[in-house]
Structure 1
Amino acid sequence: MARALWKGAITFGLVHIPVELYPAEERKEFKFSMLDKRDFSPVGYKRYSKKSGKEVDWNNVVKGYEYEKDQYVVLSDEDFRRANVKASQTIDIEAFVAAGEIPPQYFDTPYYLVPTERGQKVYALLRETLRSTGRVAVAQVVIRTAQHLAVVVPVGKILMLNTLRYADELRPTKDFALPEEGLKGAHVTSKEVDLAKRLIDDMTEHWKADEFKDTYHQDLMRRIEEKIKKGETTQITEPDTEETKAPRSAQVIDLAVLLKQSLDRGGPRRKAADPRRSPKPEATGKTALRVVASARGSAKAPAKRKRA
């Protein structure tokens, strides 16, 4: 079992629920070593003093805040904790809102909240009350050295804490060139909308998270295993010339034609789908929607991350 990232309590009103915080995310990424291409020896990194040029051991590294040019205030772990003892030891619930009311762009990182032995009953009370009322709890919490806005959500038997982005952390959409809202402003016809709705209905199914796989990870692992079998363990090779082609540039063409062709073509959307899975509701076929056509030539592009 993973080590607790944080220990403290959920608080609202006079209610106090002792809990431990654990990461819910388990990243499955490749860990690559940096090599010197001349002799394939590992490349390392050192912490060094910019003043003397000498290497600095981790035991001698501290955190400093530069308040003026070359002038620092040194902060210890105790300083971070004592800056606001209550904030660093509690998940302070400030409000309850309807589940689903928080827009998806605010969600950041998921964590598990696990009750201590003496917090089991009141933990269950909060979990079941949130579930029965259809609410989630909005809270503030300090994790490591930063305060986070967060939401506490019941998921099965566990309470999850998902950190949220503050409103001023999101880039305003006015910075981007976007089509006007509404059909007229975007110059979309009712026929195109009807065909798009039919295609969306045709591809609609129940959400099953385990049906979506990181196929790029699997493909890259196969590529690595092939190179090991061939003894290509110390060679630097040029990338394959046969790669997925992508249009160099594209122009929008008749959407109605493309949508109609997509509906007529049908076919499975995910080639590696489990044949045992239950059929999607009111669906006859699945296909991908493509609404661009090549205007001139094509260029090499990296393989896209696909859903399997």
Structure 2
Amino acid sequence: MTATKLELDIRRRGAMRGILTLGSLDPAFEGAEGVSGGSVVLDLRPVEFVEPAGLCGLAALLEFLISRSRLVGVRIPGHNVAAYLERMDFFRIFGHRVETNVDVAALEERRRGNPGTLQELINFHSEDEIPGIINRISEILENRGYLLRERAAICATLSEICANAVEHGHSPFGAYAAVQAYQHIVSGGRGKGEEVLVAIADGGVGVRETLSRNPQYAEFTETDNEALRHALKMGVTGTGEIGRGGGLAVVGQIAARAGGSLSLRSGSGRVTFYGDRTNSRNVPRFPGTFVRVSLPRKAPEEPAS
């Protein structure tokens, strides 16, 4: 039987050229809806660089495919991408569950230190696991010069998002998180500087259904995008994946003040908050809830000569 092939949408030019983002997985998520039994192959060979959102999105996609397919194959490009995936523990989590074209044993022979710039891809299922993840994120932010009050606000909200991602066992695979700090700005061409990217994904019921359970918010859940926009407002609470207090609004405002963004995706909706504006668009269905936070630090301007 011929395997179903899933493609990516990898940009060929511009600042995001060759980067695996959540958006570049859209054609694969769309194609995954039609998978039922048999074999499926995901071709990552156009990828040159993987960021945390792309890694968490890939994990969520593979969990979805593994539950619906007899065999899942992943075609991975040359050494650099394979080495990064090994460094981020991708093969530790998925190496025995999918078929790849990579000699993992050879990659594992490399020595690797802890550079203090990343939280490897981690699959978590209970609130007991969350403090370790949040402590690691706090360390990364501290290494990048974030003040204690900023770290406390960011980490408190991310802890809440992580807790909601695993609450009540809504997600069959729990949740995934990945974080990395870069010496350059990854999220498009916004000038020189550095950036911390945080991604959290779960396979739960999603934002729209969660908010619709609360009669106070039912009128704001006619579409996925409407529910997402409402979830980004201060104080909005649900009973599952969405924050129960300051919630997403707090970390969104912190990211916006830094010149970054917060992107929230669930169902067929995606909303990105930049502070002065909010962009919404319809996208292929995401099986759960996805949060991406961009925290850039611009390089200081050079004095005029």
Shorter-chain TM range is: under 0.3
TM-score by length of structure 2 reads 0.24
TM-score by length of structure 1 reads 0.24
Higher helix share: 2
